[in-house]
A and B are shown apart, each in its own frame.
Chain A
Amino acid sequence: MQKMLSKLNRNEEGIIKSIALEEIKYFKVMHLGLMKNARIKCVFKSPLQDPIAYQIKGCTFALRSEDASKIMVEI
């Protein structure tokens, strides 16, 4: 089943299937290892629910739901 990255629950994992971000943004997230076929996990949410922290390999970072909703993951 595919769903938006922003809809992942805490501690849920998925494989990235598509990234519909503009080139500049995509280039930025690539540095975090956020690429197609990478395994990503939602680790925690901020107290106000947005942004959300994700983890890929050893790297933890936060994205806003607005951007994360443009990324689809397979769970």
Chain B
Amino acid sequence: MKRKKACFIGNPNVGKSTIFNILTNKTQHTGNWTGKTVENEFGEFSYKNILWEVIDLPGTYSLIGESKEEKIASQFVQEEDYDIAVVVLDATNLERSIEILLEVLDIKTNVIACLNLCDEAKKRNIIIDIAKLEEKLNLPIITTNAKEKKGIEELCETMNKFIEHPHYPTIPKHNPKIENYLQWARKYIEKPLTYLTNKKELKEKETNAKLNFYRKSLTRIDLLESYHEFGTELLNDVIDRTQEKEKKEDHFWNTLLTNPISGFITMILMLFIILWLTIYLSNIPSSWLFSFFEHLESLLYKMLSFLPNFILNPLLLGGYRTLYWVVSVMLPPMMIFFPLFALLEDYGLFPRIAFNLDKPFAKCGSCGKQSLTMCMGLGCNAVGVTSTRIMESKKMRILSILTNVFMPCNGRFPAMICVINMFFVTDHSLLGSMTSSLILLGIILLGIFLTWIVTKILNHFLLKEEKSMFILELPSFRKPKIIGTVLHSWKERAIPVLKRAMSVSFPAGILIYFVANIHIGEITILEGLYHLLNPFGLLIGVDGIILLSFLLGIPANEIVIPILLLCYTNSGSLVEYESIDSLRQILIANGWTTLTAINFLLLSLCHFPCATTLLTIKKETQSTFYTILAFLIPTLIGIGLCFLITLIF
């Protein structure tokens, strides 16, 4: 079998990752917003007699730009070795997506094109004469609908065929301004185009006065204009937009979301519905899981009874219990929240949220795209931090990284739901779950409010820099593939998070067991720690154990509640685990009041990010200072808020 290499290149949000996923059976994240993929992704598949190595590049509009994604892509296209570049085009927006194809054609000949989103173009009545375009460019163009996996086979076929019979596509014709330069410069330099855009290139030629003159007088803008002119002429009789119409659903959502009254109500209502579905639907599976794991525990106890107690107890009462708490409390909400969320993301709602919220964010020195990163943070803060790459400027990026933790991630809000259900809403009927969701919604709104305040304050202290431009693309709504998206979000989001939590919870449980049972002098280590932390805990209206649980929860926030319960149950007042309701007894027996519960909720919202998020922040900012800030800011705010509340009470 031959090995060949192909890369996927194209504008953002044209479906490169979707095609890549189909080919390689991989599960790269996709989403209906610009800038989803931020790094090169590698994969493999074989078709007939060729084993293809494929690379999914971040979406970019052009190879001659200066942004990070543009550089990654352009460096790859120009310097790496590959057999075919597959340029993915957007059928609903061919005028724009063709420009990068022209840029690639200018430097490479091993190119084929793939016209994706054909179904969307058809829905909008955009008519494209593909055969004509193929002929004009002398280039195979395959039409695909990646959502329905249509045309993928043809794409593979064409790739294979191209290897056997390569052919040479048309080289774009430039306008006289650029063409003059090219004719002249070809005599002196090998890559005259790169020379115009890449200022570092060819230092030794610097002495040539005429060359220097060209380089000063011709800018990237001239070059881009030249491509644009050629593209416009090329597509003149290829695309027919005369019968184009707005999609019904676009019209519906645009009207609803941009209305001053219904716009914000719809957004809040949608968040509410997601939270409510998550809370309501996870109650029952949660209690099933609890009873299942309890039965298993007594079974395990019998089976393992040959083990001595000092091994059996830490394993079962420590490790196993923490593990099953994590699974029972976290698994159901995750399995519901992540897919719902992924569906909205794929549908294309997030950019609209950013659009509506730009003004308040602008007032704080940031921009609407920050709300997009916050949405991602609601799933997982580490993902939220990575997604801040879409922010236009370094400063705004730092601002959104430092405040991302104010969005309670999936590892935290199930714990919040737990406490809300115990102390504020005790019936689990339909109505009860609605009240719980309202409270949780309130907490999230508080998080948004804190984000604004902190962003605004930080904005004054961080380095001033020139105002950058806010451009936000508003892709048209695309109906996601429901089953595929749900499965994908389980596999890619829920399960890895759960795995991480589980792998932390078992050893943590064992550790807690020992800490609670090893005596040093008169008291156990746990009691020692408790006495150490308790005075401070009482000051801010919680107790030593709560603080300890948050500290031990650094590796994964999911384990905070289990550790809390384990500490309580191991320090004397053993209560039978039965269901979510029996938790309340454990907590009340340990002195919890409504005030404790409120403070616990506040602390869950505002405390240091988990270890994974901290590492991501370090990686993204390349700065220890910002990582420490990211740790301190929410922690101090959380402590301050709790202290205030306790004072008032």
Residue positions of A touching B, CB distance < 8 A: 21, 23-33, 35, 43-51, 53, 57-64, 67
A33 CB contact (under 8 Å) in B92, B95, B470, B476: B95
Task: Knowing A30-B224, A59-B93, say if A53 contacts B359 (CB, 8 Å).
Answer: no
Q: How far is the CB of B632 from chain A (nearest CB, A)?
A: 33
Cα distance, A61 to B257, chains bound together (Å): 15
- Find chain A residues with CB under 8 A from B99 CB: 31
- Find chain B residues with CB under 8 A from A31 CB: 61-62, 65, 96, 99
Q: Is the CB of A47 within 8 A of B356?
A: yes
Q: Is the CB of A32 within 8 A of B355?
A: no
Q: How far is the CB of B32 from chain A (nearest CB, A)?
A: 13
Q: Is the CB of A51 within 8 A of B358?
A: yes
- Find chain A residues with CB under 8 A from B470 CB: 51, 62-64, 67
Q: Is the CB of A58 within 8 A of B95?
A: yes
- Find chain B residues with CB under 8 A from A46 CB: 258, 263, 355-356, 358-359
- Find chain A residues with CB under 8 A from B90 CB: 58
Residue positions of B touching A, CB distance < 8 A: 61-62, 65-66, 90, 92-96, 99, 124, 126, 219-221, 224-225, 228, 241, 244, 254, 257-261, 263-264, 355-356, 358-360, 362, 368, 469-476
- Find chain B residues with CB under 8 A from A57 CB: 93, 95-96, 241
Cα distance, A42 to B639, chains bound together (Å): 47
In the complex, 16 of the A-B residue pairs with CB atoms within 8 angstroms, ordered by the A residue number, are A23-B221, A24-B66, A27-B221, A32-B471, A35-B225, A35-B228, A44-B254, A45-B258, A46-B263, A50-B359, A57-B96, A58-B92, A58-B94, A60-B473, A62-B470, A62-B474
Task: Knowing A57-B93, A62-B471, A67-B469, say if A44 contacts B258 (CB, 8 Å).
Answer: yes
Q: Is the CB of B355 within 8 A of A59?
A: no
Q: How far is the CB of B452 from chain A (nearest CB, A)?
A: 14
Cα distance, A26 to B219, chains bound together (Å): 12
Q: Is the CB of A60 within 8 A of B476?
A: yes
A64 CB contact (under 8 Å) in B263, B358, B473: B358
Q: From B475, which residue of chain A is reached at the shortest CB distance?
A: A60
- Find chain A residues with CB under 8 A from B355 CB: 46, 51, 53, 62
Cα distance, A32 to B470, chains bound together (Å): 13
Q: From B120, which residue of chain A is reached at the shortest CB distance?
A: A58
Q: Is the CB of A47 within 8 A of B263?
A: yes
- Find chain B residues with CB under 8 A from A28 CB: 469, 471
- Find chain A residues with CB under 8 A from B241 CB: 57-58
Q: From A30, which residue of chain B is reached at the shortest CB distance?
A: B224
Q: Is the CB of B65 within 8 A of A27?
A: yes
Most A C-beta atoms less than 10 A away, residue of B221, B258, B362: B258
Cα distance, A18 to B362, chains bound together (Å): 26
Cα distance, A43 to B220, chains bound together (Å): 30
- Find chain A residues with CB under 8 A from B260 CB: 47-48
Q: Is the CB of B220 within 8 A of A32?
A: no
Q: Is the CB of A47 within 8 A of B259?
A: yes
- Find chain B residues with CB under 8 A from A50 CB: 358-359
Q: Is the CB of B126 within 8 A of A58?
A: yes
Task: Knowing A27-B65, A27-B224, A58-B126, say if A64 contacts B258 (CB, 8 Å).
Answer: no
Cα distance, A48 to B93, chains bound together (Å): 28
Q: From A53, which residue of chain B is reached at the shortest CB distance?
A: B474
Q: Is the CB of A59 within 8 A of B96?
A: yes
Q: From A43, which residue of chain B is reached at the shortest CB distance?
A: B254
Q: Is the CB of B368 within 8 A of A51?
A: yes
Q: Is the CB of A61 within 8 A of B471?
A: yes
A30 CB contact (under 8 Å) in B93, B228, B475: B228
- Find chain A residues with CB under 8 A from B359 CB: 46, 48-51
Q: What 8 pairs across the A-B complex have the smallest Cβ distances?
A: A31-B61, A58-B93, A47-B263, A48-B359, A47-B260, A62-B472, A57-B95, A44-B258
Q: From A47, which residue of chain B is reached at the shortest CB distance?
A: B263
A59 CB contact (under 8 Å) in B224, B225, B264, B473: B473
Q: Is the CB of A51 within 8 A of B126?
A: no
Q: How far is the CB of B624 from chain A (nearest CB, A)?
A: 30
Q: How far is the CB of A30 from chain B (nearest CB, A)?
A: 5
Cα distance, A28 to B124, chains bound together (Å): 27
- Find chain B residues with CB under 8 A from A62 CB: 355, 358, 368, 470-474
Cα distance, A57 to B121, chains bound together (Å): 12
- Find chain B residues with CB under 8 A from A60 CB: 473-476
- Find chain A residues with CB under 8 A from B360 CB: 48
- Find chain A residues with CB under 8 A from B263 CB: 46-47
Q: From B473, which residue of chain A is reached at the shortest CB distance?
A: A61
- Find chain A residues with CB under 8 A from B358 CB: 46, 48, 50-51, 62, 64
Cα distance, A69 to B219, chains bound together (Å): 24
Q: How far is the CB of A52 from chain B (nearest CB, A)?
A: 9
Most A C-beta atoms less than 10 A away, residue of B62, B96, B355, B476: B355
Cα distance, A30 to B185, chains bound together (Å): 26
Q: From B11, which residue of chain A is reached at the shortest CB distance?
A: A31
Q: Is the CB of B473 within 8 A of A29?
A: no
